[in-house]
Structure 1
């Protein structure tokens, strides 16, 4: 057997060498290289490469040697053609603006079949100039429909989601995959609501169905106001409900604009949506800021608790370091104490105002891996509290919220930026990074601006975010060596409107090139420089600050520059008590705590105030909204810019 294996390997090697000599070349795969890039380099199709290297359908690895057919080889072309005919295959060259959905509909082929014949679509996506293999030997869309009809005749099996159940546990219980479960129940792709009735097999009878939206084949007359439309490509897992919420339209209006939706939502569809619409999480939030007054009702005292990670036991058991030494190097402890110092000022302010609130502070003893939150909640009967602030770590805040969910006690997560799991009584007080960026783009679109992106090719996540979430944004060009083409920025500028240039790079040369190009362009165009997140390069000595002022550098922030009398008083009192000016965490400790206490004395529950009231404290805005998947988040983001007088101001 051993010799047989050696012989087979030797025979295979000989065959490869002989074939290579008669019409192929070798190519060594580089890091991050894709099949599509290799095919374009040698002017062949991905199908040609798969024919000679069938093993790479599962993926490419750096250093792997591929056999590539020579384009000029007549024999190779004939062989490929015969192979295509014998395997009942035809090809399609991807044109501009084509989508997977459109191609699949054109050839009546299912998404699964197309991706199976062209594995690079899964990793690289659809790109202009790709040559796709269209196989008639695999299941078509019609066959898929027949399969669905067959499944619908099966006996109906359902499952009602119970507390603490997961998709994994349910799929395992019925011996199916999570993918199959989501395919049967697309409503649970984003979350798994307790009590939701899942379809396991067959089609549900009407009396057992979860609420669904049905649309008539006859388009509903639109009540949407007339406005300019733009194209929007449907992303994976989007539904008619989520699309209508994203673009501020009713489902009937969306179907009226796009009759194709009457047959359901498909990934890759190109829809017509209003130009001024940009996907936001929801629009049902209070917009006008309200100054809450101290409404004192002596007959009803409120109960609030703070769960803060002092980790006293860790400090007491640390025999190697003194508290002073630990404070020098423990950033998490310093952050906790800063937040606590601000919270204490808020509690003192509430006492001065005579607010009837009892506040308890507990050591949550938390880290990334756990806490003693559950014990604190049980031991101290906190299910009777009117509000809980903390813990710090997202997972621990979710533990507290889950425990208190049945008692409807609001849990305010004070510092986490993570996207929270859908828990009805959890309130994320810090806007997520995506919300911060979305708000910036929403502002630019409301100003009817022309948006241009100058993004370092290394910032792949930012490029992907803009392409997927911010349609219509034009990108500046880079050379093959990664050099920015300043002329490409100028060519994208539009006269007669504000040109917002979103610059995302830490490369000093790239920053200088962008700024120089924009300063020169100001002679003929309206231009404003925009960044989506803090950029240390802009603060270096190599960047001329006066140019940033000329370009009115603009950016989104969860904190504002507050120079009001109230803010100055806060800083003065804080310095008086702590011998230092408050930092971001101290100010946030005050803002979150004081805002919560003021909401509790409005004659409403904390939850009721978040539905109707947007507030501002010293540096932070609290504009809560209910997320589609459950729970609550804050979209209180400021748009700030450098003004001509060298101060930072809030944009209108």
Structure 2
């Protein structure tokens, strides 16, 4: 079967390029459905002011199919790291004062960007929308824009670039926080690892909103190494943990009502969920509330950043096939590591022999076969999408991406799936950052640098663990942990992230003693015993004790990740099912009619049933195709809708440092009927 896929792929594999013709002085652009001046300006790398200058009437709104003149060499709000580009600041006066108007808020817009677009102050917009902006600027709001007095200036950056874009390696993260002072009053700060908007804003005596107004590019991201414009007095920074140094240097300021407010802990909340809601790290929350080192308790009153709680968006699980919009063609690019040149150049091994030995090639072909099923399903639904597949020619330490990006206009793609390796997908996200093209990482569990256009489709280890603890707390369970003495990293994880979980002491031989466990169990609650070990002897010892104690206590065993030791013959399946062993998973068992239909169709085409990588290829590709075929933009569907397909769930959250990470984790358990079921 895989031989046929390889030969088919080589026969039909092709590369295409797209050339955009430009006029000498300006470009004519026909306004598309839902487009805004800001989006059009970003597309042509000019400023909204440049468009307004050539099209004065556009300041009062633009209509579908109207034609705008776009300067071919305009100003651009684009940060560049290449040596061939230089930036200089200029000021431009906006023309005559206009009447008050309304503006429909688009994704990524901020009050600061609106003030620049309409040449009015942020304060004027706030005053005109006091009630509307109580919870901050939201996508889809109709904001009143007061009349301009014609005196404000718009600050832009002109970028001079060479005709051909250079492809360069991403800059290395700044190891320590840097404060850069100029001869004028303007000061800059370079974002260091683990820094947050909250920490930096308090360092300079400002709010997060003010920091975003000065740096609108961080409204939807917070990448390490970015140079921020800041204000206020610089507080010396000598610690690798910024928040502690800031708070310690001015503890009296942090105790005032100006910066902090009280928050009462609600049911099912965790340190992780509260810190996430307030846009700070878990370490910052614990530092503000030292009592959290002991435990987080229902009703506890915590000190949190004043006015910084994020509005909770309840995502609805949607069937995107019910809301398709196919009037406009979308372009999807897939970058898969076939490494065809290596296969063709291998004079020692035949294709069949290589397939037997090359696990990575097998994984790629499985994913590809599932993706082809998704593309066929999209055709059946009538989706208007052009899919191009390229060989990324990648290994863990190299790839052919540079040549592909240079020769093909990837910036015009509506979305890109791949590459497979994290280092390569991060490079691509950086290179295409200006175009904001969504880059979906399909298989990588590693998380490195975040980019606003990078979508991690596999949940991280922390997401998997947090899903487990969130579930156990939602059941008001008593959580205890039995941890192998050699698992120091796990001890550190519990200490930092789950301080309220009781760690059970072990004997001198490193084994669990029944009395040590029983004294920590509750007779009125369900007791979750988290077992962290890969030793067969410790697993047998611990499971035997748990089964004995089940006569007097409600006990359920839990693990935090897949453990192949549990598959050994010595560990009886009956023991695990009796304890209803629970674990986190990115996929779920599915015996629905839809899944059966998919498996039968796949087997009919490939002569085998699909494995996890084939199913993953289908789910990731089908989700991307459907999100591209909606009334809303791809990013808006990510922010508002969760989806679920054959085995995988996609529930993305935006991270503080930029980009999106999937929360799509299932909590599964072994049932007594020897089946695996979904707990959540």
1: distance between equivalents of 2:505 and 2:553?
Answer: 20
Residue pair 1:504, 1:531 contacting (<8 A) in 2 also: yes
SS at match of 1:497: coil
In structure 2, which of residues 601, 626, 643 is the aligned counterpart of residue 598 of structure 1? 626
Residue pair 1:615, 1:623 contacting (<8 A) in 2 also: yes
Matches within 5 A, 1:92-111: none
Question: Aligned pair 1:395/2:434, yes or no?
Answer: no
- In structure 2, the CA distance between the partners of 1:523 and 1:620, relative to structure 1 (3 Å rule), is same
1: distance between equivalents of 2:534 and 2:643?
Answer: 35
- In structure 2, the CA distance between the partners of 1:296 and 1:557, relative to structure 1 (3 Å rule), is closer
CA-CA distance at 1:586 after TM superposition: 0.6
Query: What corresponds to 1:457 in structure 2?
Result: 485
Residue pair 1:181, 1:200 contacting (<8 A) in 2 also: no
In structure 1, which of residues 482, 492, 509 is the aligned counterpart of residue 537 of structure 2? 509
CA-CA distance at 1:221 after TM superposition: 9.5
Residue pair 1:374, 1:403 contacting (<8 A) in 2 also: no
CA-CA distance at 1:224 after TM superposition: 3.9
In structure 2, which of residues 256, 263, 283 is the aligned counterpart of residue 217 of structure 1? 256
In structure 1, which of residues 528, 532, 554 is the aligned counterpart of residue 560 of structure 2? 532
In structure 1, which of residues 626, 636, 648 is the aligned counterpart of residue 654 of structure 2? 626
In structure 1, which of residues 321, 344, 348 is the aligned counterpart of residue 376 of structure 2? 348
- In structure 2, the CA distance between the partners of 1:224 and 1:484, relative to structure 1 (3 Å rule), is closer
* Stretch moving more, 516-525 or 357-366: 516-525
Residue pair 1:627, 1:633 contacting (<8 A) in 2 also: yes
1: distance between equivalents of 2:555 and 2:299?
Answer: 20
Matches within 5 A, 1:445-594: 445-594=473-622
- In structure 2, the CA distance between the partners of 1:639 and 1:283, relative to structure 1 (3 Å rule), is farther
- In structure 2, the CA distance between the partners of 1:276 and 1:394, relative to structure 1 (3 Å rule), is farther
Query: What corresponds to 1:324 in structure 2?
Result: 352
In structure 2, which of residues 225, 229, 239 is the aligned counterpart of residue 197 of structure 1? 229
- In structure 2, the CA distance between the partners of 1:282 and 1:645, relative to structure 1 (3 Å rule), is farther
In structure 1, which of residues 167, 171, 193 is the aligned counterpart of residue 174 of structure 2? 167
In structure 2, which of residues 454, 460, 464 is the aligned counterpart of residue 426 of structure 1? 454
Residue pair 2:175, 2:193 contacting (<8 A) in 1 also: no
SS at match of 1:167: coil
Matches within 5 A, 1:93-172: 164=171, 166-167=173-174
CA-CA distance at 1:181 after TM superposition: 11
Higher helix share: 1
- In structure 2, the CA distance between the partners of 1:553 and 1:304, relative to structure 1 (3 Å rule), is same
CA-based RMSD of the aligned residues comes to 4.2
Q: TM-score, normalised by structure 1?
A: 0.64
Number of residue pairs the alignment of both structures matches: 466
1: distance between equivalents of 2:605 and 2:195?
Answer: 59
The higher relative CO (CA closer than 8 Å, separation ≥ 6) is in: 2
2: distance between equivalents of 1:561 and 1:229?
Answer: 26
SS at match of 1:448: coil
* Stretch moving more, 420-429 or 186-195: 186-195
Residue pair 2:254, 2:260 contacting (<8 A) in 1 also: no
Cα distance per residue 1:380-422 (max 9 Å; x no partner): 2121111100000011111111111111110000000111312
Residue pair 2:355, 2:361 contacting (<8 A) in 1 also: yes
SS at match of 1:405: coil
Residue pair 1:287, 1:614 contacting (<8 A) in 2 also: yes
- In structure 2, the CA distance between the partners of 1:282 and 1:496, relative to structure 1 (3 Å rule), is farther
In structure 2, which of residues 384, 397, 403 is the aligned counterpart of residue 375 of structure 1? 403
SS at match of 2:519: helix
- In structure 2, the CA distance between the partners of 1:366 and 1:324, relative to structure 1 (3 Å rule), is same
1: distance between equivalents of 2:226 and 2:512?
Answer: 51
Query: What corresponds to 1:100 in structure 2?
Result: none
- In structure 2, the CA distance between the partners of 1:276 and 1:518, relative to structure 1 (3 Å rule), is farther
CA-CA distance at 1:375 after TM superposition: 2.3
2: distance between equivalents of 1:337 and 1:356?
Answer: 25
- In structure 2, the CA distance between the partners of 1:387 and 1:642, relative to structure 1 (3 Å rule), is same
- In structure 2, the CA distance between the partners of 1:588 and 1:246, relative to structure 1 (3 Å rule), is same
CA-CA distance at 1:331 after TM superposition: 0.9
Residue pair 2:458, 2:661 contacting (<8 A) in 1 also: yes
1: distance between equivalents of 2:389 and 2:355?
Answer: 21
Residue pair 1:615, 1:622 contacting (<8 A) in 2 also: yes
CA-CA distance at 1:435 after TM superposition: 0.8
2: distance between equivalents of 1:199 and 1:182?
Answer: 21
CA-CA distance at 1:461 after TM superposition: 1.6
Matches within 5 A, 1:31-42: none
SS at match of 1:375: helix
2: distance between equivalents of 1:244 and 1:649?
Answer: 26
1: distance between equivalents of 2:512 and 2:175?
Answer: 47
In structure 2, which of residues 452, 463, 466 is the aligned counterpart of residue 438 of structure 1? 466
Matches within 5 A, 1:287-306: 287-293=315-321, 295-306=323-334
2: distance between equivalents of 1:394 and 1:231?
Answer: 29
Structure 2 portions without partners, runs of 5+: 1-156, 160-169, 182-188, 204-221, 237-245, 248-252
SS at match of 2:669: strand
Residue pair 1:454, 1:503 contacting (<8 A) in 2 also: yes
Structure 1 portions without partners, runs of 5+: 1-159, 205-211, 233-242
Cα distance per residue 1:235-269 (max 9 Å; x no partner): xxxxxxxx895164699xx99xx9xx9xx959999
Residue pair 2:278, 2:310 contacting (<8 A) in 1 also: no
Residue pair 1:284, 1:625 contacting (<8 A) in 2 also: no
CA-CA distance at 1:646 after TM superposition: 1.9
Cα distance per residue 1:119-146 (max 9 Å; x no partner): xxxxxxxxxxxxxxxxxxxxxxxxxxxx
1: distance between equivalents of 2:296 and 2:260?
Answer: 16
Cα distance per residue 1:262-290 (max 9 Å; x no partner): xx9599996985548999x9985644421
CA-CA distance at 1:172 after TM superposition: 12
CA-CA distance at 1:227 after TM superposition: 5.6
SS at match of 2:522: coil
Query: What corresponds to 2:57 in structure 1?
Result: none
* Stretch moving more, 343-352 or 219-228: 219-228
SS at match of 1:453: strand
2: distance between equivalents of 1:179 and 1:605?
Answer: 29
SS at match of 1:478: coil
Residue pair 2:173, 2:192 contacting (<8 A) in 1 also: no
